Amino acid sequence: MKEFKGRVIAPGTVTAEALVSHGGLNTLASFQKALQFGDKEATCGDQNNPDLFGKKMKGKALCLPQTIGSTTGGMVLYCACSMKRQPACLLFSKPIDSLAAAGAVLADVWLDDVSMPVVDNLGEEFLAYVKDGMTITVKDDGVVCVD
């Protein structure tokens, strides 16, 4: 087991299976099927992300460097949470962008029955170490344990 310490953006604790992207997550392209077409498993629809395309994101510990794409990114994350189609957590190797942070914080504040812990600044070593299928545990203090 290896531990990484990051900055808490949205608090919470969770244990989930890792799903790793080495490229940026285009939130709109990735969650469009889940939000518009009723895909309850949030299958990634971003054809430009070979790490995630076609994989189910709901309930996974989504490990990534950053989000990319349009200004709708924060609202897309919030909507995924409100529809209960969100990843178990978002774990960023780099600093989170303001749009993704807004969506995560709004979901944390406005939605009573939804949790999606978000931690950023975990470092490049985190993203190099974690692999799909590993077990991730997120703690309240921003410590992320990878088994």
Which domains are seen in the chain, by residue range? 2-146 (3.50.30.10)
Burial pattern 90-112, b for ≥16 Cβ within 10 A else e, equals bbbbbebbebbbbbbbbbbeeee
Q: Are 87 and 60 in contact (CB under 8 A)?
A: yes
pLDDT value, residue 6: 98
Task: Output the pTM of the full model.
Answer: 0.96
Provide the pLDDT for residue 68: 93
> What pLDDT, on the 0 to 100 scale, is given for residue 17?
98
Q: Which sign does the torsion angle of CA 122, 126, 130, 132 carry?
A: positive
Separation CA 130–CA 77 (nearest Å)? 23
Burial of residue 77 (CB within 10 Å: 0-12, 13-18, 19+) is buried
Give the type of residue at 69: G
Q: What is the pLDDT along the chain (147 residues), one digit of tens a residue?
A: 999 999 999 999 999 999 999 999 999 999 999 999 999 999 999 999 999 999 999 999 999 999 998 889 999 999 999 999 999 999 999 999 999 999 999 999 999 999 999 999 999 999 999 999 999 999 999 999 999
Q: What per-residue confidence (pLDDT) applies to 70?
A: 80
The pLDDT score that the predictor gives to residue 69 is 83
Provide DSSP, 92-127: ESSPPPHHHHHHHHHHHHH-TT----EEE---HHHH
